[in-house]
Amino acid sequence: MSPGPVSAYLVQPGDTLWGLARKYMESPHRWPELQRSNAVPVPERLRVGQLLNLGGPAAVLHVSGNVLL
């Protein structure tokens, strides 16, 4: 049983907005949406441990391959 769509993500080492947009938003070209909605000042410098809002219900958190409710 799937817990539903992921709406938040805890940044891991090596993550990029491009990669996260590709994985969770269906298109890597949507990375500026992640940047704007999370007030990321420099897209090339995501902070490990930073919680990003991916949109949708705020009850689902994706952490390093696991989904927590």
- Structural domain harbouring 19: 8-68
Q: Which residue ranges in the chain fall short of pLDDT 50?
A: 1-3, 58-62, 66-69
- Judge whether 45 lies within some domain: yes
Is 0.75 topped by the overall pTM? no
Identify the H or E element spanning 67. strand 66-68
The neighbouring-strand residues paired with 38 are: none
Q: How many residues does the chain have?
A: 69
What CATH number should be reported for the domain holding residue 52? Answer: 3.10.350.10
- Judge whether 38 lies within some domain: yes
- Judge whether 1 lies within some domain: no
